[in-house]
Amino acid sequence: MIQVVLATAIGRVAQTGTALDVVDPNDPITILAPLVAVLAAVAVAYMPRRIGQDTRLWRTIRGLLPYVDAAARDRGFYTTYEIDPAEETVGVWHGSLESLESALEAEGYRLGPLAAHKSLPDGRQELGSWVDLGDRISPRWLEALRLMVTPWQTHVTIFPGGRDGEWLVTAHHERSAYSPLTALWHLRATDYSPARGVEIVSGQLGDRPQFDER
């Protein structure tokens, strides 16, 4: 009953060419996706920086996602997937992981908690998941609103490189996970573009001496 009410309420205002247009009371994911996006946007906006940018904490939390993927897929979504490095590799960073993370922060990236865990075909697991959410604005309610209406995001995933002190940088461009207007498209990989992501991140990191483009 709650699902029908929510779907009807959203549907009355959602004929806007967004993912909300396909809300279906018989498909819970079409309702949950936008609701989770709203909650995530609020959480990111109000989360203390010491928690939101704690790389070790989020690396630990995200490392648990593959263990619940089977249960998630039974319910219509997923928590981990394998990327194609031939399509998504931007290049290799030489130096400390912290220096790479600082470079991403300087370009407006933040740790992206609302994302599936990534792995490579050779078994390497992600070390960091970063999204170009931009600089924080005040007040926090306005930051949450900004995230909710931003339709696109560039997602950078960091993996161990081939040698010590090397980090593989991969990227894709996609619909935003933090906007209820596009969250379902994000989940279903609509308009998912590795080529665009590689182009964007290459332009952001390519002039740094620590970075070798592929």
User: What is the distance of C-alpha 21 from the center of its chain?
Assistant: 22
Enumerate residues 6+ apart whose C-beta is below 8 A from 148: 37, 38, 41, 178, 179, 180, 181
Report the pLDDT value the prediction gives residue 62, as an integer from 0 to 100.
Answer: 94
Residue 142's domain comprises 2-213
Report the pLDDT value the prediction gives residue 12, as an integer from 0 to 100.
Answer: 46
Report the pLDDT value the prediction gives residue 15, as an integer from 0 to 100.
Answer: 56
- The number of distinct structural domains making up the chain is 1
Enumerate residues 6+ apart whose C-beta is below 8 A from 188: none
Do you know the residue count of the chain?
A: 214
Q: How far apart are CA 193 and CA 187, in angstroms?
A: 14
Report the pLDDT value the prediction gives residue 9, as an integer from 0 to 100.
Answer: 47
Helix and strand numbers (H, E) in the chain are 10, 8
Report the pLDDT value the prediction gives residue 14, as an integer from 0 to 100.
Answer: 47
Residue-level pLDDT, tens digit, the chain, 214 residues: 555 545 554 444 445 688 888 888 888 999 999 999 999 999 999 999 888 888 999 999 999 999 999 999 998 889 999 999 999 999 999 999 999 999 999 999 999 989 999 999 999 999 999 999 988 899 999 999 999 999 999 999 999 998 899 999 999 999 999 999 999 999 999 999 999 999 999 999 999 999 999 8
Burial-class residue 181 by CB neighbours within 10 Å (0-12, 13-18, 19+).
buried
Query: E strand or H helix at 81, and its extent?
Result: strand 80-82
Instruction: Tokens for 206, please give them.
Output: 């390519």
Question: CA nearest 79: which of 141, 36, 16, 133?
Answer: 36
Report the pLDDT value the prediction gives residue 135, as an integer from 0 to 100.
Answer: 86
The answer to whether the CB of 178 falls within 8 A of the CB of 37 is: yes
